[in-house]
Structure 1
C-alpha cells in the first residue's frame, strides 16, 4: 500500500476509492509480506470488511466518515482493541479475554473513520529495544530481515515500513516509538505527556502515539487523537489549532537549537552521529534556526530508571504466578532483566535513583529556559540483530550505561515532546534517525520542523513504498 494516511482518507471521503478496496489492499500486502516479517500477531478480516462497508455506505449517502476515513490501522498489542486479546507480547497472557471495547486512544481513531485491522507485535510487557517474544517469535525489519525494527513498538514500525498499513499505534516510555521509527525510516512522535489521554489513570512516563511514513500523516493523526478526557487527570486541554495546518504555516525561524552527539555520556556509532548531524545541519538551514553552542551534559539516568522500573520485577512476577516456574517462557530480554535484578537488587538505592530523576528534571527545565530545541541522534547504533539482546557494546565500546536508545528516556521523564525523523542511510543501507526534543507542549514545533526537512530533503522511502 503506497498511499499515505491523508491520501487514503481523502480518496475514500471523495468516493474515488472504496474503503473495502483499501482494506483488501492491506490484507493482500500482509499476505505477501508478513510471513517473513512477523509484524501482525492477530488479524480480523471479517470485522474490517464490515467496518469498511459501513464507511462506504456513509460516503454513498453524502456523509463524511471522518478525517481517517477508510484508513487501515494496526494496533500495538499493549492496548485494547475491540475483538482482540491484549497479550502484551507475553506467553502468560496468551489466553487473555477478547476485549469488548477499545482503549480511549483506539476509540478516537475508530470514531474518525479508521479501520483497526489487527494487533501488531510488541516486546514482552514493552521491555525491550527489539521485538522478540516466546509467544510470537521474532519481528524483523523490512529494510533487512536480519535486523530488528526496534522495540517495543516493533510490529507497528515493521507494518508501516513494509506498506501493510499507513498508520500503526505505538507507546513510548523511554523511546519505544522513536527508536523503531529511526530503525525503519519512519516518523515517530512521542507527544507531550497528556497530549493523548489514557483511560487507565496516572502514568509517570509512558505515552501513546503512532508511527507513520509522512509528517502530514502524523499531524492528522494527532489532530484526531489529542484532547482531554476526565478519566485521565494528566490529559492536556485541546491545543486550539490544527496540527495539520501548522506544519505548513508555523513560523519557527530564529528558534535556538543545540546539537549534541552524545549528551556527554552516550556511546554512539560514528556513522550514526555523522548522518544525524548532517540532517540537523540541513534542518537548521531550511528552518532558519539559530544554532547555539552549549555544553549540556545532563545526568545519565539509564541505570536509575531501570532500578525504579525493575527493582520489584521478581516480586511482581511471583505475585502474578509467572515465577518461579515460568522463567523459561519469558522472552530473552526479560529473562536477562530478571537475572540482573536477582544479582543487583540488594545494592539498589531507589531513593537515590528518584533523586537523580528529579535532578534531571531540573537540568532539562533549565536547558529549555534558555533554548528551544535539543537535537541528537535518535539511537546509539544502526538496527542490530533481530533476535539479539540490547547491545552492551556499540562501536566496540562499553554501552552498558545507555544501550541502543540512550537519548530516549529524558523526554519521557520530563514530559517533553520528542520526535524521530529520517536522517539518512548507513553505507549498508540501514536507516538512521534524527531526534528533536522541544519545550513541553510544543508538539507543533516538532511537526513543523519535521515537515520542513521532509520537504527540503525528501527521505528515502521505506521498502513498502518503493
Structure 2
C-alpha cells in the first residue's frame, strides 16, 4: 500500500487492520522528507531514530493483538516552538538553538502519540512566531509546494509546507494573530484554530499568552477532527487551558448543515480583498446557500488593539534577550519588539478594555447566527521577498496586512476552521467562524463543503 499521499484516517485504518506496518509508513515519510525537504525547507529537525522506535512499538502492539489508537502509525511533525524531548526549542530563533535540549515533549505531542501517532520532526517557522510570511532569516524561508517562488505564510510556514507537500499528513502549529490560518490559506490545506483555552499550550514557547492558540493542519476535515479529538482535555501545565468538557467531534462530521444559521461576515471582512479572495468566499457562500450578511462591529479597531497587545506582551517576554543579544534577532522582529517595549502601559490597558467590549458585542451576534464566513487572507501567496502589494489602489506592506482578516477573530479567541478553495494557479482559504467551544459546528460545515466538492486540498503538481 502506497501511503505517501494518504490521509491520517486512511493510514490509521491500514495500520490497525494489518494492511501496512507502522514502520513502512514511517520509512516512507522519512524518505519523502529526505527527497523533498531540500526544495520546501519545511523541516529544521528530523527525529528518525525516535520515529522508527515508536513505529516498532506500534507494530509490536498490533502483533500482540492490542487495539491500536485512532492515529496508529500516522506520521506528524510540529512547529519548532513545541518542546521535543532531546531537541532545543528553537522557536524559529538563532538564540533558541543554544538552549539545552527539552527534557520532555509538549503536552499535545504526548497526547497525539498516546493515540498512536508518530513524531518525525520539527518544522521551520517565523522567528518567535512574530511573522506572517514564513520567511526565516536564520533557517531560510519555507517554500510553497504549489509554487516554490511563493510564500507559505507564517508563522507556521513549515507546517503548511510539510502538509501541503505531502511530507506528513498532519502537523501542529500555533496561531496568535493568524499563524495557522494564513499558511492553511496560502498552501491550500485545512487548519483549525480552536477556542482560546481549548487545547493545552504546556511546554511550547509562548509569544503572547493572552492570544496564543495551538492547533492542527491537515489535508482533510476528517484528519483535523481526529487530531483535535486526540488532543483535547484540561491541563494543569497551562493555566489558560480551560477546565472544559471534552467534546469529541469525529462522529458528527457527516450530519450535514441541518438548521444551522449561516451568514457572511460583512463590513471590514468585505474590504481589502483581491479578486481571488472574493471569488473563494463567494464560492463557499454559494455552496452553503448563504445570502445573508452580518457586520462585525469595530473589527478594524479590534485588529489595531490586537497589534497593541501583541507588541507590548511580546516585548515584555523578550526584554532580557533584547538586552543581551540584540544582534541575534531578525532585525524586523527586533525592531517591532523594541517599539512595543517603548509603548506606555496605558495603551495595553485600553486595548484589553476594548477587547472585553468587542467580545461581548460579537458574542451577541451568535444569538442570531451559528456560523460566519470570512476570507482567511486578502490574496493568494505573494512571492518570496515581496515587500508590498497594491490593494484598492494603495501600496501596502505585505507583512503587516496578510492578517487583516484573521486578527479580529483570534483577538477574542473564537474557533475557526480554514477550508481551501482550489483556485488556479494558487489555492486560497476561507474562514468558518463559530461561537466559543463550537469547533464541532465549524468542522461540520467544513465537512459538508468538502463532501460537496466545494473545497479541497489540491495536490501540488511537482509533488
Structure 1 length as normaliser, TM-score? 0.90
Residues 402, 388 of structure 1: CA spacing in aligned structure 2 closer, same or farther, 3 A cutoff?
closer
2:257 paired residue number: 252
Give the one of 341, 347, 350 matched to 1:349.
347
What are the ranges of 5 or more consecutive residues in structure 1 without an aligned counterpart? none
What are the ranges of 5 or more consecutive residues in structure 2 without an aligned counterpart? none
How many angstroms does 1:176 deviate by? 0.8
Aligned partner of residue 387 in structure 1, secondary structure? coil
- Equivalent pairs counted in the alignment come to 454
Counterparts in 2 of 1:164-203, with a 5 A limit? 164-199=167-202, 203=209
Residues 325, 4 of structure 1: CA spacing in aligned structure 2 closer, same or farther, 3 A cutoff?
closer
Tell whether the 8 Å contact from 1:133 to 1:332 is kept in structure 2 after alignment: no
1:55 aligns with 2:58: yes
Give the one of 429, 434, 437 matched to 2:430.
434
2:109 paired residue number: 106
The 2-side partners of 1:337 and 1:449 are apart by 37
2:151 paired residue number: 148
1:446 aligns with 2:459: no
How many angstroms does 1:77 deviate by? 0.6
> Could you report, residue by residue, the CA deviation over 1:285-337 in whole angstroms, capped at 9, with x for unpaired residues?
3xxxx6433333433222322222213666654422x347533x322541452
How many angstroms does 1:109 deviate by? 0.6
1:23 paired residue number: 26
Residues 197, 21 of structure 1: CA spacing in aligned structure 2 closer, same or farther, 3 A cutoff?
same
Tell whether the 8 Å contact from 2:269 to 2:374 is kept in structure 1 after alignment: no
Tell whether the 8 Å contact from 1:299 to 1:356 is kept in structure 2 after alignment: no
How many angstroms does 1:268 deviate by? 1.6
Residues 359, 266 of structure 1: CA spacing in aligned structure 2 closer, same or farther, 3 A cutoff?
farther
The CA RMSD over aligned residues, in Å, is: 2.6
> Could you report, residue by residue, the CA deviation over 1:345-395 in whole angstroms, capped at 9, with x for unpaired residues?
369833332233223212211222222111111111211123345x57535
Give the one of 351, 361, 364 matched to 1:363.
361
The 1-side partners of 2:354 and 2:389 are apart by 22
2:408 paired residue number: 410
The 1-side partners of 2:223 and 2:309 are apart by 35
How many angstroms does 1:230 deviate by? 3.2
The 2-side partners of 1:104 and 1:275 are apart by 35
Residues 396, 85 of structure 1: CA spacing in aligned structure 2 closer, same or farther, 3 A cutoff?
farther
1:421 aligns with 2:419: yes
Aligned partner of residue 281 in structure 1, secondary structure? helix
1:137 aligns with 2:105: no
Tell whether the 8 Å contact from 1:267 to 1:397 is kept in structure 2 after alignment: no
How many angstroms does 1:161 deviate by? 0.5
The 1-side partners of 2:15 and 2:83 are apart by 26
Give the one of 161, 164, 183 matched to 1:161.
164
Structure 2 length as normaliser, TM-score? 0.90
How many angstroms does 1:122 deviate by? 1.2
The 1-side partners of 2:247 and 2:348 are apart by 41
Which shows bigger deviation, 257-266 or 123-132? Answer: 257-266
1:232 aligns with 2:238: yes
2:310 paired residue number: 309
1:85 paired residue number: 88
